[in-house]
């Protein structure tokens, strides 16, 4: 397993330092599985932090103004929520504890469920709890299992959360989605194909090797919660990225109740870290590939912070990631890990 890094520098006469000649350190890293490159520009985290921190007044106003017309609040939900066809879900919806799952009104895949995370319209990241997240993942599993029974060709699925507008959500009320398809999502297809190739060439599971190496090095490894391994990627694709993987299981359908609880617990800890940094918006994906051999592919989770809610906010997706498909982060994962790790220590 190769952890490739190339150090470069940019030189300029800086007007902010009386035009003194300045050298800025730049590091390119390649993901050890996919080969995707990431640009790390250290020393800029504090400069860009102002764009990621929430404007408290703007956030309060957004929550208040969106409440009356919210389709996911209880007084509106049952009139506005779509229903599954009876041959898929006989009752039309899936209710599990505080969460409710029903079809997305505007489908993003052949099968697309929305999962409302309880009755509370507004949550700060520190207010998300393990119970509600466990129920949400469990509801997604109920729907996915039924989808796979009705349509056995469906193999690819993702449980996702897009929280607040900077993360792509048009609805304030906390919710998740389940996407399921016969066609693999691009990211999932890349992970599957590269994992399979690694297994064929090396004779062992990439994910098992990765966890072993990260545990031994310790500089990006967070902890093991139950069976779920939590770590930071060597070549992050996004800001404040945190990942997890579940050994020897390739699908959400394979997760036990304990597995789901430990994924939820890790998400809560990650969100508490984000909250401590003033972050309020995030994206999350728990990806799944039904029928892929767990000897080479493990289901996993990726999550990242997004810019703060502001009257005029700065989008962190510009031409470099959007059109050139290259990635930039402002802090090395080893530095970030030292900040995140206390939130994953036993309490």
Q: Which domains does the chain have, with CATH numbers?
A: 47-344 (3.30.428.10)
Q: Are strands 156-163 and 99-103 parallel, antiparallel or unpaired?
A: unpaired
Q: What is the pLDDT of residue 43?
A: 82
Q: What is the pLDDT of residue 346?
A: 76
Q: Locate 104 and state its tokens.
A: 């997305």
For 154-168, what is the mean pLDDT?
Answer: 98
pLDDT tens-digit readout, 329-340: 999 999 999 999
pLDDT tens-digit readout, 127-149: 999 999 999 999 999 999 999 99
Angle 327-330-331 from CA coordinates, rounded to 5°: 115
Length of the chain in residues, anyone? 347
- C-alpha distances (whole Å) from 25 to each of 6, 37, 115, 330 are 11, 16, 44, 11
For 280-303, what is the mean pLDDT?
Answer: 98
Report the C-alpha gap between 231 and 341 in whole angstroms. Answer: 9
pLDDT of 347 over the 70 cut: no
Q: What is the pLDDT of residue 44?
A: 83
pLDDT of 172 over the 90 cut: yes
Report the C-alpha gap between 168 and 138 in whole angstroms. Answer: 23
Average pLDDT along the chain: 96
What's the pTM value of the predicted model, to 2 decimals? 0.96
Report the C-alpha gap between 328 and 316 in whole angstroms. Answer: 10
C-beta separation of 277 from 49 below 8 A: yes
SS3 158: strand
pLDDT of 320 over the 80 cut: yes
Q: What is the pLDDT of residue 52?
A: 84
Q: What is the pLDDT of residue 50?
A: 84
């Amino acid at each position: 397993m190769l952890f490739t890094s190339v150090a470069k520098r940019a030189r300029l006469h800086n007007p902010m330092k009386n035009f003194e000649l300045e050298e800025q350190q730049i590091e390119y890293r390649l993901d050890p599985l996919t080969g995707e490159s990431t640009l790390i520009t250290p020393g800029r985290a504090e400069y860009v932090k102002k764009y990621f921190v929430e404007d408290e007044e703007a956030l309060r106003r957004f929550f208040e103004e969106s409440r009356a017309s919210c389709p996911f609040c209880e007084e509106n939900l049952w009139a506005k929520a779509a229903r599954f066809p009876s041959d898929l879900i006989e009752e039309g919806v899936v209710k599990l504890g505080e969460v409710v799952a029903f079809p997305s009104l505007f489908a993003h895949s052949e099968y697309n469920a929305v999962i409302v995370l309880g009755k509370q319209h507004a949550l700060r990241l520190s207010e998300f709890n393990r119970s509600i997240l466990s129920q949400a993942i469990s509801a997604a599993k109920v729907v996915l299992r039924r989808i796979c029974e009705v349509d056995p060709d469906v193999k690819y699925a993702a449980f996702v959360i897009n929280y607040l507008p900077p993360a792509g959500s048009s609805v304030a009320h906390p919710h998740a989605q389940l996407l399921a398809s016969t066609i693999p999502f691009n990211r999932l297809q890349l992970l599957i194909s590269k994992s399979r190739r690694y297994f064929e060439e090396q004779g062992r599971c990439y994910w098992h090797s990765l966890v072993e190496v990260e545990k031994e090095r310790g500089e990006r490894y967070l902890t093991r919660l139950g069976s779920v391994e939590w770590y930071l990627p060597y070549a992050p694709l996004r800001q404040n990225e945190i990942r997890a993987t579940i050994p020897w299981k390739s699908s959400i359908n394979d997760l036990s109740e304990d597995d789901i609880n430990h994924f939820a617990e890790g998400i809560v800890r990650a969100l508490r870290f984000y909250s401590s940094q003033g972050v309020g918006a995030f994206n999350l994906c728990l990806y799944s590939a039904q029928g892929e051999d767990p000897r080479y592919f493990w289901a996993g989770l990726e999550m990242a912070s997004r810019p703060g809610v502001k009257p005029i906010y700065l989008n962190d997706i510009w031409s470099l990631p959007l059109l050139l498909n290259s990635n930039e982060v402002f802090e090395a994962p080893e530095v970030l890990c030292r900040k995140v790790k206390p939130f994953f220590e036993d309490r």
